[in-house]
């Protein structure tokens, strides 16, 4: 088994998970963490395999072969690009950048340097959505024709952060909804044909961008995807020792569900109920019979694996690289989702349908 040194750039909320996963990977020897904030690295004081380093140090150190980028979005191209140009393999957080030009430049660099590069759409590694995909691929619901996604959450980004300050009107589409639009691509196994999106006046006054998005998409064959997103409805989280988090959030305004409707059945994923179910349709003499035939639930200890499986994604990607395999979500593939996000933003700005062939994309 080949072991190598690795680095994580950006040790904030998400970087923390990347650090933990890298330390748990059997392929990683030493781990370097790059972050201008000294407080961040203090978290791992006493961890002998982890050292703080500068960007220059990790780029010129030939023993560092794998770099994870978890900095704010406007730095992704700079950091992932520099790493690939120095011959490193890269796992970069989504979105690929704040603009499509940045995303295209990342594709160009990956191609030119022939690097291993994976973009972190980790929901594709989450059990909840892997089960849905497995049922779809096994033909259990027939052909997927309509996907409804509902996402209601609390405002949790806070005032005066890079997230709330970002001025792009569709910032949250790339920052938050890219995961959920990516899953529509994953389940349909296709790219969008056209998008129509609208946003109502916002309620989160300190956000420089829209706080809600309603995105309706057509996919090849007349298939339809819908995503409804509202930030602020879910009750603000206050730890309550008597109530487990999702048990409370399942009925306080939070919602995160897919209804994936096929020609012979349907699938529902529901994060706040920790559940995935499958319906089967059959023709009866008088009507269409629909019945729930399969239900999978999971326990709080499995939240990470079932829901936002960044940890599992990282272990899998480190292994792909160590074994000389290709990335499972390269920049070109991820660009399909980036384009989808920007088409939705353009549609909101124009008040018109935006087609995949639009020359502005
Ligand atoms: N995949 C997911 O589910 C998921 C979830 C949350 C965030 N993210 C992504 O992860 C990235 C980071 O988000 P976050 O929530 O951790 O943000 P954060 O603000 O908590 O952390 C960002 C970190 O980057 C550091 N940083 C800033 N400039 C830097 C530089 N020049 N060099 C090195 N470090 C620098 C900051 O000091 C901070 O520690 C974003 O791209 C975000 O979209 C992904």
Report pLDDT digits (tens) over 280-329: 999 999 999 999 999 999 999 999 999 999 999 999 999 999 999 999 99
Domain with CATH 3.40.50.720 in the chain: 4-115
DSSP state of 207: -
Provide the angle, in degrees to the nearest 10, between the axes of the packed helices 127-137 and 178-188. 20
Dihedral class, residue 253 (left if φ above 0, else alpha if ψ from -120 to 50, else beta) = left
**What average pLDDT does the segment 266-279 reach?**
97
Pocket test for ligand 1, best of 37, 52, 93 (most atoms within 8 A of CB): 93
119 CB near ligand 1 (under 6 Å): no
Ramachandran quadrant class, 198 (left: phi over 0; alpha: psi -120 to 50; beta: rest): beta
Contact 263, 145 (CB under 8 A): yes
> Sorting pLDDT into bands at 50, 70 and 90, what band is 1?
low
pLDDT band at 228 (very low <50, low <70, confident <90, very high): very high
SS3 164: helix
Bond into 166 cis (ω within 30): no
pLDDT tens digits for range 131-184:
999 999 999 999 999 999 999 999 988 899 999 998 889 999 999 999 999 999
Q: Determine which residue's CA is closest to atom 28 belonging to ligand 1.
A: 71
Q: CATH 3.40.50.720: does it fit domain 4-115?
A: yes
Domain with CATH 3.30.360.10 in the chain: 124-302+340-354
Q: Does domain 124-302+340-354 have CATH number 3.30.360.10?
A: yes
Can you give 27-89 as a three-state secondary structure string? CEEEEEEECCCHHHHHCCCCCCCEEECCHHHHHHCCCEEEEEECCCHHHHHHHHHHHHHCCCE
Report the largest interatomic distance among the alpha carbons of the chain, rounded to a whole angstrom: 72
Report pTM: 0.95
3 state SS for 113-128: HCCCEEEECHHHHCHH
Q: How far is the CA of 309 from the centre of ligand 1 (A)?
A: 17
pLDDT of residue 89: 98
Q: Which runs of consecutive H residues, i.e. helices, occur in 138-230? A: 162-165, 171-172, 178-188
Task: Tally the C-alpha atoms within 13 A of residue 323's C-alpha that lie toward its C-beta.
Answer: 10
Q: Which of 224, 227, 138 is nearest to 188 (CA)?
A: 224
Q: 197 phi and psi, to 5 degrees?
A: -135, 145
Start-to-end CA distance of the chain, whole Å, equals 43
Model pLDDT, residue 243? 84
Percent of all residues in the chain with a pLDDT value above 70, rounded to a whole number = 100
Residue 93 has pLDDT above 90, yes or no: yes
Tokens of 132: 């849905």
> Whose C-alpha lies nearest to ligand 1, atom 4?
14
Q: What is the pLDDT of residues 94-121, one digit of tens each?
A: 999 999 999 999 999 999 999 999 999 9
Report the nearest-CA residue for atom 33 of ligand 1. Answer: 35
Q: Are 291 and 280 in contact (CB under 8 A)?
A: yes
């Amino acid at each position: 088994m080949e072991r190598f040194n690795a680095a994580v750039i950006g040790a904030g909320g998400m970087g923390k998970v990347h650090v933990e996963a890298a330390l748990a990977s059997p392929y990683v020897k030493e781990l370097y963490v790059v972050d201008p904030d000294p407080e961040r690295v203090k978290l791992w004081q006493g961890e002998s395999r982890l050292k703080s380093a500068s960007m220059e140090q990790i780029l010129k150190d030939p023993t560092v072969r794998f770099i994870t980028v978890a900095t704010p979005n406007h730095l992704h191209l700079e950091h992932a690009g520099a790493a690939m140009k120095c011959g490193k393999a890269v796992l970069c957080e989504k979105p690929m950048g704040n603009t499509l030009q940045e995303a295209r430049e990342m594709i160009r660099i990956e191609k030119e340097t022939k690097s291993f590069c994976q973009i972190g759409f980790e929901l594709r590694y989450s059990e909840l959505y892997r089960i849905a995909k497995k049922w779809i691929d096994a033909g259990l619901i027939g052909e997927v024709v309509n996907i409804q996604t509902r996402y209601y959450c609390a405002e949790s980004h806070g005032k005066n952060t890079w997230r709330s300050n970002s001025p792009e009107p569709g910032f949250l589409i790339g920052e938050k909804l890219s995961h959920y639009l990516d899953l529509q691509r994953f389940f349909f196994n296709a790219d969008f044909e056209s998008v129509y999106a609208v946003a109502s006046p916002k309620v989160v006054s300190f956000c420089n961008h829209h706080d809600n998005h309603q995105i309706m998409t057509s996919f090849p064959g007349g298939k339809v995807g819908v995503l409804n997103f509202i930030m602020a409805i879910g009750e603000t989280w206050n730890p309550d020792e008597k109530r487990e988090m999702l048990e409370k959030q399942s009925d306080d305004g939070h919602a995160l569900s897919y209804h994936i409707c096929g020609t012979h059945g349907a699938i529902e994923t529901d994060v706040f109920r920790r559940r995935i179910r499958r319906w089967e349709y059959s023709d009866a003499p008088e009507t269409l019979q629909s019945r729930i035939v399969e239900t999978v639930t999971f326990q709080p200890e499995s939240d990470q694996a079932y829901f936002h499986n960044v940890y599992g994604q990282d272990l899998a990607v480190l292994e792909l690289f160590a074994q000389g395999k290709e990335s499972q979500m390269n920049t070109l593939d991820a660009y399909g989702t980036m384009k989808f996000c920007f088409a939705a933003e353009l549609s909101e700005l124009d008040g018109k349908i935006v087609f995949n062939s639009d020359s502005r994309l």
